[in-house]
Chains A and B, each alone.
Chain A
Amino acid sequence: MADVNTGDDGGGKKGKKKRPKKGSTRIDMTPMVDLAFLLLTFFILATTLSKPKTMEIVYPKDVKDPKENMELNFRLANTLILGEKDDQIFYYPGKFKLDTTKLEKVNLSKDGLRKLFLDKNKNVVDVITKLEDQYKNHQIADSTFKRLRSKAKGDDLAPFFIVKTLDKTKYKTVIDVIDELNISNVGKYAVVDISPAEKIALKREIKE
């Protein structure tokens, strides 16, 4: 006889075969968490997140013929002399004359260098403050703001600062002073060596 297997007989047995015991769908995640946090710790310790910040500075080109360089407008000139110690910063305006020039001691505080720079650079700072206001109120575009600001900084009548260093002046002092110049929006400055006459004046000043 041709039997048709209806699958009825032995159903209980078959059902057991087809459906194996259902395990829990949950897996123990603890090792995975361990691993994840291990990796996390590794990356936090072994990597740096932020790139270092830098200060851009352009040094003057060497001038072969010194006469070329002498056409400075000394009414706009301001000179800072940085001594060997942090607190030895001296200032004099205009041209240096050994007999008459009086060095004025300034410090790195808000009422010292900052005030001096802002006073001297008042015209430029006023223009830039106005520009900043306009920029914040969205009256001028990003690029326009930058262009006008660098134009104001490079104005022909803007004062310029000469920073003179000794052999033993600390790098930190130089950076601090340049930073103050940047904060006060001084666009024209240069770091150069001290002249022998200025050295004499500086020695005199420190002794006093």
Chain B
Amino acid sequence: MPKIKMPRSSPSLDMTPMVDLAFLLVTFFMLTSKFRANEPVVVDPPSSTSQILLPENVMLITVDTAGRVFFDLSGKEVRRKMLEGMAQKYQIGFSEQQYQRFSVMGTFGMPVRELPAYINADEKKRAMIDKNSTGVPIDSLKNELADWILQGYGASERDLQAKGLEGKALKERRIRYAIKADGLTNYKKVKRVIDIFREREIFQFNLITNLKGGPADLPK
């Protein structure tokens, strides 16, 4: 009987295409995605068929099921300027390091007096503070949210002016106001936040929702 000789192939295979693919994907994800922001509370927004994306420069107010209010503003420089404004208004001194940490921090929700301690805290401690926090005060007697809005708006306007934007470019980059609330939050709480904005002559909002299937795409 003739012997059948199987061609012996090396057990190592050419990995070049695999490397190519892997790095292609890495590059893709690096360029297209954004780092997930640190969120102190878990909020499950209701779903809608709206397709409008969240704009770039945004002031984000988060309202959780208990009605606690959290505040966030995008832009490092803008955040710093906003905090400077708040420090002046409430006579609180922040160190240079605290300014830097605040400018990259993310969402926060506490009275401004407790903010320095929060900035200094590490991840674990921050989570603890977030859990027990009462949120940014919104009562009419101690309406800190209104001050944050005012300072945030002012800081953002000054920043845009410093960049020398005009006309359409300015209009597109101008700060937008987004509200993210849990579906189970009482509407009254959300309304209170909206009313604070309305007192400041701000009437247009982006309500953050989850996407659900809807009618076919048409320009919005």
Give the B-binding residues of A (Cβ under 8 A). 26, 28-30, 32-33, 36-37, 39-40, 43-44, 46-49, 51-62, 82, 132, 135, 142, 145-146, 165-176, 178-179, 182-183, 191
In the complex, which residues of chain B have a beta carbon less than 8 angstroms from the beta carbon of A26? 12
Q: Do A59 and B26 touch (CB < 8 A)?
A: no
Chain B residues within 8 Å of A82, by CB: 187
Q: Of A57, A168, A175, A183, which one neighbours B46 at CB under 8 angstroms?
A: A175
Interface contact A53-B36, CB-CB below 8 Å: no
User: Does B110 reach chain A (CB closer than 8 Å)?
Assistant: no
Q: B183 contacts A37, CB within 8 Å?
A: no
Residue of A nearest to B20 (CB): A36
A149 vs B45: C-alpha distance when bound (angstroms): 29
| Contact in complex: A171, B46 (CB < 8 Å) | yes
List the A residue with the shortest CB-CB distance to B189. A171
Given A40-B25, A175-B46, CB of A53 within 8 Å of CB of B209: yes
B52 pairs with A145, CB closer than 8 A: no
Question: Could you say which interface size class chain B belongs to?
Answer: 35 or more
Q: Which residues of A contact B25 (CB under 8 A)?
A: 40
Is B53 interfacial (CB-CB < 8 Å)?
yes
A104 CA / B191 CA spacing, docked (Å): 26
Nearest residue, chain B, Cβ from A174 = B187
Which of A36, A44, A51 is in CB contact (< 8 Å) with B53?
A: A51
Q: Which residues of A contact B29 (CB under 8 A)?
A: 40, 43-44, 47, 49
A134 to B113: give the CA distance in the assembly, Å: 59
For B50, the chain A residues whose CB sits under 8 A away are 53-56, 179, 182
A39–B63 alpha-carbon span in the complex (Å): 34
A168 touches B204 (CB 8 A): no
Within 8 A of A (CB), among B181-200: 181-191, 194, 198
Q: Is the CB of B209 within 8 A of A33?
A: no
Shortest CB-to-CB span from A114 to chain B, Å, is 11
Beta-carbon contact of A53 and B183 below 8 Å: no
| Given known A53-B52, A53-B53, contact A168–B188 (CB-CB < 8 A) | yes
With A171-B186, A171-B187: A55-B15 Cβ-Cβ less than 8 Å: no
B13 nearest in chain A by CB position:
A29
